[in-house]
């Protein structure tokens, strides 16, 4: 993902948090021009506008309706989060990702519990499955997936690949959760799977909260196109 594309995603999503309704998030297109102006619209105005996010039906998980604000505060102070932040920044830089996006994925996947193991055998901070390890980690790395640096690096490699393949954050996250084949069969859109929709919503909700706090100050101007 290019620096311009990455910056566009960050700025547009930050603005979208305040602009979109809470029940259905409209499709977003955007770009950042050479003067540092972030442009966004709910349709492709011209060839410069890239797809940022497709339509996502917001789905709440019981007990987590207001998770983002309190979770952002926890992410600021938790020792287990601070301990791996250098690994998050390093992996994000290496693969052209926004560190806040990686931070949100880890929070939703494992709650920053480095020893977490799912019933499917997914391990570590980013819940790397054996299938993911076979594609995105070498043999030495696959044997050490519980180590935070290797786990985050492998997850970042996969997420960057999914973003390149699908071109939108929401679809890439859906492929992360449900698998690429499922998303392809859904026409490269969000599959009609409650668990996947809820997962994507939670990651995006937290990501937007993080961006709202950290990214608007980096934009010189933000322009909305009706």
Alpha-carbon Rg for the chain in angstroms: 17
Which contacts of 157-162 are long-range, i.e. CB under 8 A and separated by 24 or more positions?
Answer: 157/91, 157/95, 158/128, 158/132, 159/95, 159/97, 159/101, 159/102, 159/105, 160/1, 160/95, 160/96, 160/97, 161/136
Joined together, the tokens standing for residue 99 give 């560190």
CA dist 54 and 195 (Å) reads 18
- Contact (Cβ atoms closer than 8 angstroms) between residue 197 and residue 170: no
Examine the residue annotation and report whether 109 is marked as an active-site residue of this protein: yes
| Helix 67-77 / helix 79-95 crossing angle, nearest 10 deg | 100
Catalytic residue among 109, 141, 153, 205: 109
The neighbouring-strand residues paired with 56 are 25
Question: Which among 9, 166, 29 is positioned nearest to 92, based on CA atoms?
Answer: 9
Calpha distance 106→166 (Å, rounded):
20
Residues with a catalytic annotation lie at 109
């Amino acid at each position: 993902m290019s620096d311009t594309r990455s910056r566009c995603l960050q700025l547009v999503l930050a603005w979208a948090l305040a602009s979109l309704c809470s029940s259905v998030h409209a499709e977003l297109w955007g770009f950042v021009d050479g003067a540092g102006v972030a442009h966004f619209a709910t349709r492709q105005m011209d060839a410069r506008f890239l797809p940022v996010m497709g339509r996502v039906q917001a789905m709440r998980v019981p007990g987590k309706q207001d998770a983002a604000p309190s979770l952002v505060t926890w992410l600021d102070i938790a020792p287990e989060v601070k301990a791996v932040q250098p690994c998050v920044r390093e992996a994000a830089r290496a693969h052209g990702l926004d560190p806040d996006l990686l931070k949100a994925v880890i929070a939703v996947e494992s709650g920053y519990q480095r020893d977490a193991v799912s019933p499917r055998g997914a391990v570590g901070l980013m819940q790397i499955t054996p299938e993911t390890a076979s594609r995105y980690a070498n043999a030495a790395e696959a044997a050490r997936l519980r180590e935070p640096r290797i786990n985050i690096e492998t997850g970042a490699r996969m997420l960057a690949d999914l973003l390149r393949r699908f071109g939108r954050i929401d679809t890439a996250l859906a492929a992360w959760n449900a698998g690429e084949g499922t998303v392809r069969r859904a026409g490269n859109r969000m599959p009609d799977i409650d668990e996947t929709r809820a997962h994507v919503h939670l990651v995006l909700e937290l990501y937007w909260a993080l961006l709202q706090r950290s990214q608007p100050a980096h934009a010189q101007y933000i322009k909305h196109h009706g």
